[in-house]
Amino acid sequence: MCSRNLAIAANHASENLHASTNEKSFQGCNLLISFQGCDAPVLIQGNDSERTDPANLSLGGFNVIDEAKRLLEAVCPATVSCSDIVVLAARDAVTLTGGPSVPVSLGRRDSLVSLASNVRRSIIDTGFSVDAMAASFASKGLTMDDLVTLSGGHTIGSAHCGTFRERFRPDANGSMVPVDGTMNTDYATELARTCAASGSVTVDCNEGSAATFDNRYFGNLLDGRALLRTDAVLVQNPTTRATVAAFAQSQESFFRSWASSFARLTSLGVKTGSDGEIRRLCSSVNGGHPWTCNSNTYSYIGISGVLQY
């Protein structure tokens, strides 16, 4: 009974995440998964929680996960973790937008701690070079291929203009021009026009295909149509460029690699057994205040990765 209801709730959540993606209210070049660990600390609300860090302010979809949890608690109380709901919903949202279905393990437990101070150590900053991103991924046991593959998550979603403003500078006439000469001229002009009014305006992460999970993102990178600097640098490094080119040529190859990388990513930092808890509400720990411990009390070994800005 619980397994059947888990499937129903996860499908309900993923369909709503899919709708959110198509409505462009799903900000940050990501699906709801923040990739800051697979124990759901970012779902917790409260002062100084992970959700309050500026890097997470554009995350959306929390209400979708909360609703799926409510449905499950009604029929299978204290059985399915928020962490598992997030992983299943994100997995299925990829499938619903045209991507591959990925087998994932279940049985995760939820974090007891959510601290904003934990966020910065695990995110990929928009100014990172390939070497810096690779080092961050390697510290989690992930490879350069994982880096390029998971960057492909930018095939769906959107980002605020403020997240890539460092890619432009004013010229002598006050017009915004790209700092990076490899950016496609037409694309740069369109971005500058779109973002002229406000940094809070949003732009598709993947021009021409932001509602479909496909390999067009990689072709756009090769064409100089990368939105974020961390996307653009992937074609400036010989190793990562070769992988980008391979994925641009073969969607099947990208999907196959995505299945492997997503499975590895969602296995990082998993709490099982007596570690953590099964939250009754995804936005709060069961006992009340989760931030009374020292931040060193609990390990934080997830990864924000390149899928969130």
Q: What is the pLDDT of residues 93-120, one digit of tens each?
A: 899 999 999 998 899 999 999 998 888 7
Contact 22, 156 (CB under 8 A): no
pTM: 0.81
Task: Output the 3-class SS for the chain.
Answer: CHHHHHHHHHHHHHHHHHHHHHCCCCECCCCCCCCCCCCCHHHCCCCCCHHHCHHHCCCCCHHHHHHHHHHHHHHCCCCCCHHHHHHHHHHHHHHHCCCCCCCCCCCCEECCCCCHHHCHHHECCCCCCHHHHHHHHHCCCCCHHHHHHHHHHHHCCEEEHHHHHHHEEECCCCCEEECCCCCCHHHHHHHHHHHCCCCCCEEECCCCCCCCCCCHHHHHHHCCCCCCHHHHHHHCCHHHHHHHHHHHHCHHHHHHHHHHHHHHHCCCCCECCCCCECCCECCEECCECCCCCCCCCCCCCCCCECCCC
Residue 271 C-beta-side C-alpha neighbours within 13 Å: 24
What's the pLDDT at 125?
75
pLDDT at 306: 28
pLDDT at site 145:
97
Q: Select from 265, 187, 179 the least CA-distant residue to 229.
A: 179
Q: Are strands 158-160 and 202-204 parallel, antiparallel or unpaired?
A: antiparallel
Q: Can you tell me the distance from the alpha carbon of 296 to that of 175, in angstroms, rounded to the nearest whole number?
A: 47
Supply φ then ψ for residue 75, to 5 degrees. -115, -25
Q: Which residues of the chain have pLDDT under 50?
A: 3-5, 8-10, 12-35, 290-309
Give the amino acid at 171: D
Percent pLDDT > 70 in the chain is 80
Q: Which amino acid is at 178?
A: P
Give me the pLDDT at residue 300, please. 24
pLDDT for 197 equals 77
How do residues 270-301 score in pLDDT, each as one tens digit? Answer: 898 899 999 999 999 997 654 433 333 222 22
Q: What is the pLDDT of residue 40?
A: 86
Question: So what's the pLDDT on residue 288?
Answer: 60
pLDDT recorded at residue 182:
87
Q: What are the distances in angstroms from CA 192 to CA 117, 184, 262, 270?
A: 33, 12, 33, 41
| pLDDT at residue number 305 | 29
Tokens of 236: 């400036």
Residue 109 pLDDT = 95
**End-to-end C-alpha distance for the chain, whole angstroms:** 38
Task: Provide the 10 A C-beta neighbour count for residue 265.
Answer: 25
Q: At which residue do the structure tokens 């409510």 appear?
A: 70
**Whole-number Å distance between alpha carbons of 102 and 46:** 33
Burial 54-71 (b: 16+ CB within 10 A, else e): ebbebbbbbebbbebbeb
